[in-house]
Chains A and B, each alone.
Chain A
Amino acid sequence: MSAGEIGRAGSLAVNEPRPMLEVNGLRKQFFAGTPNARLALDGLTLLLPPGCFCVVIGSNGAGKSTLLNAIAGTFLVGPGEIKLDGEDIGREPLHKRARHIARVFQDPMTGTAPGMSVEENLLLAQLRAGKRGFRFGLSASRRAQWRERLSLLGLGLENRLADRIETLSGGQRQAVALVMAVLSAPKLLLLDEHMAALDPVTADLVLRATVRVVEEARLTTVMVTHNMRHALDIGDRLVMMDQGRVRLTLTREEKAGLSVEELVRRFREKDDRVLLAS
């Protein structure tokens, strides 16, 4: 992201901020019309101001991944609208939304193309928002730029541009996927449990890289995680989902003093209330 764009995002945040991401009354039913029908998103609403780093937690089946898929465009939702930077994207196909939405998947294999080099993968990501032409994409200036980005990770990946991506470890691939996601300055970054498949040491490394790139570029981010510790430690906002709805939202200040136990207790409390209400 250029300095100018950061400045614009900053000024928006000072004035009455128009939400960068606006999800209104989103509904998604799986297996509709069958006995197995299940409401994955039940009128979900989520508003994120520009630059907001939102962490989403919730038990299995709460609809977290469905929410990310709905925003990214993996499927079209039923009622409800999705606006990105004021633009209604709810009917756009996935590859069109990808111009402005970057995503890192849980499985490092999902986010990178095997059989292709690290630099070819980076090029694919670099051109996500732009036109692809009959030019040779791997230029010296781009390589230099990628090397610089990769060196920030501290994994020595800057020396492996020409290597095939599958020769990298899972953690390294995920780190590259993260760099790929932020290369073209997306309006929205979706992180789908992107550390869940990694060992604790690598996960920690990827987590730190995540926080750095998100804060550096002030990216509007939605991160899904199962790790309560991460949910408390990072991000501007913590959203707890249950049965396809947002049950609890905590700001950075509200979650500051909270312990994992306390968070789990409040999670259960909400859960019980839901059970009693239904």
Chain B
Amino acid sequence: MIALLRRDLRLAVRAGGGFGLGLAFFLIVIVLVPFGVGPETEILTRIAPGILWVASLLAALLSLDRIFALDYEDGSLALLATSPLPLEGAALMKALAHWISTGLPLTIAAPALGFLLSLAPEAYGFLLMSLLIGTPALSMIGTFGAALTVGLRRGGLLLSLLVLPLYVPTLIFGAEAVRRGANGLDATGALVLLGAVTAGAFALLPFATAATLRINLR
């Protein structure tokens, strides 16, 4: 299973688009927001948690359709399905590789971009923590969505429509944790629920993803 993770990360680095693309998109969205809403710091401070979370959601969405589509096209997916590697494990590794190449860089870059939106100083820790807990769920749910649309040509749009509603709980709890942190309130509840969504996604979705892939490969 580690071999698959290593290969996917290597491909993400070499083929480009993996590491850079999502991060650059995140950066641009965050930079564009002050142009759109104006430079008043109080407004930016108030909307910063939500904007940062929505932007990381969209950035994670950007590279989802590549998770299985490339392997499907060049035949590796059928070969992986007939290999001794359990498809559930492959799904988990795919999600993990997606998180390392998208979610993790976003998490690390987010505090710097929070500065651009004049995020409240107390909120930085919560931003980092909520993204660290929440973004793995984005990758896992997205992997499931990618498996659903794997056989379709131009399934990218359908994938977004399928996956974005499933991102709602993560978005609500993630942004809420940062907002509460910014206002000096107790954010434990939101963080715990955020963690619950992630844990649930990782407990159930590898199996759902593998079942979906088996049906799509028939």
Chains A and B form a bound pair: no
Taking Cβ atoms with an 8 Å cutoff, the residues of A that contact B are none
